[in-house]
Amino acid sequence: MTEVPLSSSALPTVVKLAGIQLHYGKQVALAGIDLEIPAGCMVGLIGPDGVGKSSLLALVAGARAIQKGCLEVLGGDMSCKRHRDSICPRIAYMPQGLGKNLYPTLSVEENLQFFARLFGHGHSERRRRIDDLTRSTGLHGFLDRPAGKLSGGMKQKLGLCCSLIHDPDLLILDEPTTGVDPLARAQFWELIARIRRQRPQMSVVVATAYMDEAQRFDWLVAMDDGALLATGTPKELLERTDSDSLESAFIALLPEEKKHGYAPVTIPPLAQDDDEVAIEAQGLTMRFGDFIAVNHVSFRIRRGEIFGFLGSNGCGKSTTMKMLTGLLPASEGQAWLFGKLVDPRDIDTRRRVGYMSQAFSLYGELTVEQNLVLHARLFQVPEAEIAARVDEMVSRFTLQGVRSSLPESLPLGIRQRLSLAVAMVHKPELLILDEPTSGVDPIARDNFWRLMIELARRDRVTIFISTHFMNEAERCDRMSMMHAGRVLDSDSPAALVEKRGASTLEEAFIGYLTEAGADEQGQVTETPSASATTVPHSAVKYRAFSIQRLLSYTWREALELRRDPVRGTLALLGSLILMLVMGYGISLDVEDLSYAVLDRDQTTLSNSYALNLSGSRYFIEQSPLTGYTDMDQRMRSGDIALAIEIPPGFGRDVKRGSQVEIGAWIDGAMPQRAETIRGYMQGIHRQWLAEQAGQATTPGGSAAASVETRFRYNPDVQSLPAMVPAVIPLLLMMLPAMLTALAVVREKELGSIINLYVTPVTRSEFLIGKQLPYIALAVLNFLLMALLSVTLFGVPITGSFLTLLLAVVIYSIIATGMGLLASTLTRSQIAAMFFAMIGTLIPAVQFSGMIDPVSSLEGTGRFIGTIYPTSYMLTITRGVFSKALNLGDLYPLFVPLLIAVPTIMGLSIFLLKNQER
Amino acid sequence: MHSVLTIYRLGVKELWSLIRDPVMLVLIVYVCSISVYTKATALPESLHMAPIAVVDEDNSPLSGRISTAFYPPQFATPDLISLTEVDPGLDAGHYTFVLNIPPNFQRDVLAGLAPQVQLNIDATRMSQAFTGNGYIQQIVMDEINEFTQRYRSNSAPPVDLALRVSFNPGLEKAWFGSLMSIIDNITMLSIILTGAALIREREHGTIEHLLAMPVTPTEIMLAKVWSMGLVVLVSALLSLYLVVSWALQVPIAGSVALFTVGAALHLFATTSMGIFLATLSRNMPQFGMLMVLVLLPLQLLSGGATPRESMPEVVQHIMLLAPTTHFVELGQAILYRGAGIDVVWTQFLFLILIGSTLFAFSLSRFRKAIGQMA
């Protein structure tokens, strides 16, 4: 780090905040901040999680809209859109979370290409910059690896490369090294230092929870509860609080009520009289396919000991713990708990173990008390003891005030205590705690440790804990250092430091890591420093609309879609599956109806009546009815849909010309079907009468006129030719809308939407860019459906295919536009999907003329049908498929479709937010 | 014994989780009330405001009489158009029916020449085409007969056809729509609720927590099956009594108790299916997409939407494996036709068979998947 002595004044400022306030609903995130951040140096924001550091940085980066107060960045007002647009190519922002703004399915190269395109670099310029950056960060050898498969440290380096691709003047890093191993962390800061040497004018603002990192920054801002505690150089802060470390300086800066009762954690020595072994592992190995998550890990933990696992994210700590609890069966090796072999099927040992998993994982929907009671019961604590046990836990872990609150509404520190209480409710002899303190502020963390120490020393509970905080590892009786699935060494922290001849545990750990060859992938080569600064960024001029930016989103979306099997399947096969289902399922044919006759006459005439029915293609005769009970029974079971009764003396009476009545009973359970049966039956009856009239000499039989029916377009009146053209517009509306809706909301959920907020891409470029692949997909889908209907369903296209294709293209823009609209209104993927489905399925099925024509509807249904594009598309599809029409006949129907396109797109662009609010 | 208690307690926990999930509650209430009601009442009569046009080339009193015989609510007031407008009108979908009365029609009728009236029907609109054809023929013939005989014909044909409709004499679609939507809801809700219950645990990481306790996967799954099944059953019954029976005044022919037993058997199958789908998906969106692909075939091809006999035979056979097919059959038999166990025992048997197969299958899949979830 540059050791330029720095006085807090007399420097130009890069960021100026005055009275900045921010609320999330009722919650206050920032309570009036006044701050001037000096330019050209490395500024650290320190403080525990949830104090407003991230909110502050998001405001400065322009990712979040200002609610109250005045914010100036790079010499202009951030509430002014024009200023934001003009400076955003000069700011780089890396949000919190490992690889949060990266695209996990895209490779390193593709991620970098995407960001470079967004900032408008040409092809050779992109190549030069990418090679440059990846060489200097050691990522060059991994260009083809998907970002999601990189280690935490490499992800952060890639995030940094993506941020640096456009030579920013202000670099904003939000907790860039949380969860990264110490070696990768050291390399990360080394990289930043070198970049600053090359571009000394660049200002860097970093938020961090690691106080040891902050020590090396030029200037610090200490925050708590949305307010500033202090600002100054690290030295100033230490002097002001008279402390020897930033951690204690920070605690000293806290207001009095927070510090209340705080004392440093002291650990009484472990009594050495007991040699009973609580956990023993020998050669534990876990393989997931080719990947070895845990590689021959062995250790021994004595009873009453606090044993720590230190290592970065993804080094195998959690997997080892899961194997010990029996959650995962080990691929190789064995483990013993209390001298008994771990067996996932052995329920009884589980009662002796308490397990607290990474992150908070209790039932958020149950109250604190319900959680405790449920766990006590599941652990088979005798019913009579439960109330007392719960009371004991509540008072021991000071949960009195929150007994009936829902855990979700509690601060992290209390939730952590609750998790521990739950893990302890059945008085286990062994506690397995997986990173219990990540994200908890220093004071709560110390309180938590005090509870654990009490459990270990007083109750002689064995504690097996994993952490990535060095100062926590130092408190353990013994510890193991883990990296890439291996235990590097195990001993007491002091002994480990001594063995390596290091001065701190961190240094010792880095020593072990280097020895294990961990830095090979991170090997950094110094590049000639001139290259990065050759192109002044004035060469990249901001333009209001850029095809290149739009197409870079298209390119990226298409890549992502290709790599997501579930969405890909739905996109390609979904329409075909649903078309098959609907083609066969929504059948309006009524044929092969079963009927039976109760012939109580049994003459030739009555036979002729029955024969007349069986000759029809609509009816299938079943065995004759034997009587009324038989008829009743068979109607009830749905065996027959129609029963005919011919009365005794039928033949005789007809000959005499006296009045006879044939009885017919129709199963009315399905009204539509019953209606059709009634129609058939009347027709057949009329026909029989006419035939009889022709044979016998009954007077007045011939009709005065007749009606000749011509069924047009579908002469056999079959369901498939009617339904298949109707299903196509429905599916072309529903599926593309759902997929597109997911595409945008996914970015909201995963966090990469931040790239819309902080890069020069505009809303219309973002939306249209993302929409294009889905339009292409919809047209492809249509072609597949058309193929299916011509081949399998045998429904030919009689009209102009090109006309239909043209309509499909316009209609696909509308359908995907509907998806975009749904996505702008929702925040979660499930809501977007629901919205898109309800918004397309109901109007398309009910009001667009699929079953009943729009003109037969009334009221709201009629109105929706008139404005909904599917109505027009349906007429076009049916026209081209069944009615042999072409563009000359159908052009008036294109007009409403063409009006819908700009309406829907304009609305989505207007409703999409270009900053988080 | 201990196992039963654990299943009971975990199930109660599921109920608590559901109570505190407002989105799911709104969904259940909506589906069981408003959705049933609208589905029942929104179904138009098969022939309602059917668009019709008349080409009157005769311009006689008789042809005028025929044109005015069509009126709402069954038909829209007919448009009088010329012969050249027939094809464009049908092509553009303005009319479903066009009746063409030829020149000299009245003269020919009176001369006993038995002339023909031509009726053009847009047969791509199946739902109106069939029924409308019958109605229009009837109306036209009636008008002609009345005209020729100057009085309404009362010389009944010697053989009369007495058509009676069993179980739903008025052929009211609301009866059908409301009961079918309850049957559909039972399937849909049970799959969504159990699936969501499992995915919620997975997303919150609580499944891992459960597995570290003295609880087996079978107990976890059974707890979800019974609790979510119960919720669906209770809401379906409430919906049956409050919405269908009370608000819509639809008579229920058979024994509700028997239907409830059938529904419980069906729920056993569908909740297992929900668990299975949830093990296949990593999160809610994936689950949602899978659901669309599974639920639509289950409902549309079960015989609840359109009659089974008009589907291709292969489809009919495949759908015998789906629980919905049997549930729809037994639901229709009990609720509409008042059938007893003597009639529907085969469906019960099928449901038991399918349910236990699905349960066993899902359980083995759940055991396998649960390791990866933790």
Residue A37 φ/ψ, nearest 5 degrees? -100, 125
Tokens of B54: 């008349």
Q: Do A661 and B133 touch (CB under 8 A)?
A: no
Contacts of B296 in chain A (CB under 8 A): 578, 581-582, 585
3-state secondary structure of A198: helix
Residue B178 one-letter amino acid: S
Q: Do B337 and A667 touch (CB under 8 A)?
A: yes
In-domain check, residue A482: no
Contacts of A375 in chain B (CB under 8 A): 213
Q: Do A566 and B51 touch (CB under 8 A)?
A: no
Distances, alpha carbon A915 to alpha carbons A89, A748, A762, A770, in Å? 16, 12, 11, 18
Identify the residue whose tokens are 């290091």.
Answer: A502
Helices (H) and strands (E) in chain A, counts: 33, 25
> C-alpha B348: how far from its chain's center?
21
Spatial distance between the Cα atoms of A193 and A178, rounded to a whole number of angstroms: 18
Q: Which domain holds residue A658?
A: 593-695
Spatial distance between the Cα atoms of B243 and B181, rounded to a whole number of angstroms: 11
In-domain check, residue A703: no
Residue A782 φ/ψ, nearest 5 degrees? -60, -45
Q: What would you measure as the largest C-alpha separation in chain A, in angstroms?
A: 126
Q: With residue A817 as reference, give the H or E element that holds it.
A: helix A801-825
**A781 and A679 fall within a common domain:** no
Q: Do B117 and A633 touch (CB under 8 A)?
A: no
Spatial distance between the Cα atoms of B227 and A719, rounded to a whole number of angstroms: 42
Interface of A with B in 683-712 (CB under 8 A): 683, 685, 689, 692, 698, 700, 702-712
**A624 and A769 fall within a common domain:** no
Spatial distance between the Cα atoms of B12 and B140, rounded to a whole number of angstroms: 66
Is A878 at the interface with chain B, CB within 8 A?
yes
Last residue of one domain, picked from the residues A213, A242, A259? A259
**A172 and A139 fall within a common domain:** yes
Q: What would you measure as the largest C-alpha separation in chain B, in angstroms?
A: 95
CB B39 within 8 A of CB B14: no
CB A848 within 8 A of CB A679: no
Of A668, A705, A861, the CB nearest to B167: A668
Spatial distance between the Cα atoms of A102 and A553, rounded to a whole number of angstroms: 13
- Inter-axis angle of helices A829-846 and A801-825, nearest 10: 140
Spatial distance between the Cα atoms of B154 and A682, rounded to a whole number of angstroms: 18
pLDDT (tens place) for every residue of chain B, 374 residues total: 678 989 999 999 999 988 888 878 888 998 888 888 877 776 666 678 889 999 999 999 899 999 999 988 888 899 999 999 998 888 888 899 999 999 999 888 888 788 889 999 988 887 788 778 888 888 888 888 888 876 444 444 567 778 888 888 777 777 888 888 899 899 999 998 999 889 888 877 788 778 788 888 899 999 999 999 999 999 999 999 999 889 888 888 889 999 999 999 999 999 999 999 999 887 777 888 888 888 888 888 888 777 887 788 888 899 999 999 999 999 988 988 888 888 889 999 999 999 999 999 999 999 888 766 55
Number of domains within chain A: 3
Going along A548-695, which residue ranges are E strands? 593-599, 619-621, 642-646, 660-667
CB A682 within 8 A of CB B134: yes
Which of A325, A709, A842 to mutate against chain B (most B CBs within 10 Å)? A709
Q: Do B310 and A592 touch (CB under 8 A)?
A: yes
**A140 and A201 fall within a common domain:** yes
Q: Please report the pLDDT score of residue B154 as a whole number.
A: 44
**A686 and A729 fall within a common domain:** no
| A&B contacts, CB < 8 Å | 364
In-domain check, residue A357: no
Of B44, B169, B306, the CB nearest to A588: B306
Of B163, B292, B297, the CB nearest to A681: B163
Contacts of A833 in chain B (CB under 8 A): 285, 288-289
Q: Do A707 and B137 touch (CB under 8 A)?
A: yes
**A856 and A811 fall within a common domain:** yes
3-state secondary structure of A306: strand
CB B189 within 8 A of CB B28: yes
Spatial distance between the Cα atoms of A865 and A847, rounded to a whole number of angstroms: 5
Of B9, B121, B126, the CB nearest to A374: B9
Spatial distance between the Cα atoms of B311 and B300, rounded to a whole number of angstroms: 11
Q: Please tell me what DSSP assigns to residue A533.
A: G
In-domain check, residue A298: no
Strand order in the sheet with A277-288: A291-302, A277-288, A332-337, A340-341
Q: Please report the pLDDT score of residue A166 as a whole number.
A: 84
**A606 and A577 fall within a common domain:** no
Last residue of one domain, picked from the residues A695, A711, A746? A695
Interface of B with A in 32-51 (CB under 8 A): 42, 44, 46, 48-51
CB A333 within 8 A of CB A281: yes
**A575 and A600 fall within a common domain:** no
In-domain check, residue A363: no
Residue A584 one-letter amino acid: Y
Whether the link from the prior residue into B61 is cis, omega within 30° of 0, is no
Q: Domain of A125: which CATH number?
A: 3.40.50.300
Partner residues linked to B117 by β-bridges: A707
Comparing CA positions, the residue from A207, A286, A256 lying closest to residue A45 is A207
**Alpha carbon of B154: minimum distance to chain A alpha carbons (Å):** 12
Of B114, B127, B307, the CB nearest to A703: B114
Contacts of B212 in chain A (CB under 8 A): 325-327, 350, 353, 355, 357
Interface of A with B in 705-744 (CB under 8 A): 705-715, 717, 719, 721-723, 725-726, 738, 742
**A631 and A766 fall within a common domain:** no
Mean pLDDT of successive 10-residue stretches along chain A, which has 917 residues: 43 85 83 88 84 88 88 87 85 84 89 89 88 84 85 84 88 84 81 86 87 86 87 88 82 76 72 76 85 85 88 79 82 86 77 79 85 90 90 86 83 80 88 80 78 86 86 87 85 88 85 73 46 43 77 91 79 85 76 86 85 80 88 84 88 82 86 81 79 55 72 81 88 90 85 86 91 93 93 90 95 94 83 82 83 80 89 93 90 93 93 83
Compute how many other C-beta atoms are within 10 angstroms of the C-beta atom of residue A577: 17
Q: Do B301 and A584 touch (CB under 8 A)?
A: yes
Q: Please report the pLDDT score of residue A209 as a whole number.
A: 76
Residue A661 one-letter amino acid: E
Spatial distance between the Cα atoms of A249 and B301, rounded to a whole number of angstroms: 70
**Alpha carbon of B58: minimum distance to chain A alpha carbons (Å):** 14
In-domain check, residue A97: yes
CA-atom Rg of chain A in angstroms: 37
Interface of B with A in 340-359 (CB under 8 A): 343-344
Comparing CA positions, the residue from A469, A727, A472, A477 lying closest to residue A584 is A727
Residue A356 one-letter amino acid: M
Instruction: Tell me the Ramachandran region of residue B94: left when phi exceeds 0, alpha when psi lies from -120 to 50, beta otherwise.
Output: alpha
**A560 and A668 fall within a common domain:** no
**A577 and A639 fall within a common domain:** no
Of B91, B310, B338, the CB nearest to A636: B338
Interface of B with A in 63-92 (CB under 8 A): 76, 88, 90-92
Degrees, nearest 5: CA angle A354-A444-A216: 120
Of A378, A586, A661, the CB nearest to B215: A378
Is B144 at the interface with chain A, CB within 8 A?
yes
In-domain check, residue A477: no
Tokens of A178: 């949380």
Distances, alpha carbon A294 to alpha carbons A487, A505, A513, in Å? 9, 23, 16
Distances, alpha carbon A891 to alpha carbons A251, A807, A864, A876, in Å? 75, 10, 22, 9
Comparing CA positions, the residue from B65, B66, B70 lying closest to residue B49 is B70
Q: What is the pLDDT of residues B257-313, one digit of tens each?
A: 999 999 999 999 999 999 999 998 877 778 888 888 888 888 888 887 778 877 888
Domains of chain B, first to last: 2-43+169-373 (no CATH), 52-149 (3.40.1710.10)
CB A229 within 8 A of CB A259: no
Q: Please report the pLDDT score of residue A779 as a whole number.
A: 94
How buried is residue A339: exposed, middle or buried, by Cβ count under 10 Å (0-12/13-18/19+)? exposed
CB A455 within 8 A of CB A461: yes
Please list the alpha-helical segments (H only) found in A165-271: 182-198, 211-214, 234-241, 246-253, 256-259
DSSP calls for A246-285 = HHHHHHHHS-HHHHTT------PPPPTT---EEEEEEEEE
Spatial distance between the Cα atoms of A218 and B118, rounded to a whole number of angstroms: 94
Last residue of one domain, picked from the residues A259, A274, A289? A259
Compute how many other C-beta atoms are within 10 angstroms of the C-beta atom of residue A689: 16
Q: Do A722 and B124 touch (CB under 8 A)?
A: yes
**A598 and A727 fall within a common domain:** no
Residue A99 one-letter amino acid: G
Contacts of B374 in chain A (CB under 8 A): 322, 327-328
- What's the residue count for chain B? 374
Interface of B with A in 255-274 (CB under 8 A): none
Contacts of B103 in chain A (CB under 8 A): none
Is B314 at the interface with chain A, CB within 8 A?
no
Q: Are strands A478-483 and A306-310 parallel, antiparallel or unpaired?
A: parallel
Comparing CA positions, the residue from A653, A700, A662 lying closest to residue A681 is A662
Q: Do B167 and A669 touch (CB under 8 A)?
A: yes
Comparing CA positions, the residue from B18, B223, B161 lying closest to residue A642 is B161
CB A729 within 8 A of CB A812: no
Identify the residue whose tokens are 């517009």.
Answer: A729
**pTM score, whole prediction:** 0.81
Q: Please report the pLDDT score of residue A359 as a whole number.
A: 65
Q: Please tell me what DSSP assigns to residue A530.
A: T
Please list the alpha-helical segments (H only) found in A591-644: 604-614, 628-636
- Pick the residue from chain B with its C-alpha nearest to A343: B212
In-domain check, residue A571: yes
CB A426 within 8 A of CB A456: no
CB B277 within 8 A of CB B294: yes
Of B10, B161, B172, the CB nearest to A682: B161
**Alpha carbon of A514: minimum distance to chain B alpha carbons (Å):** 32
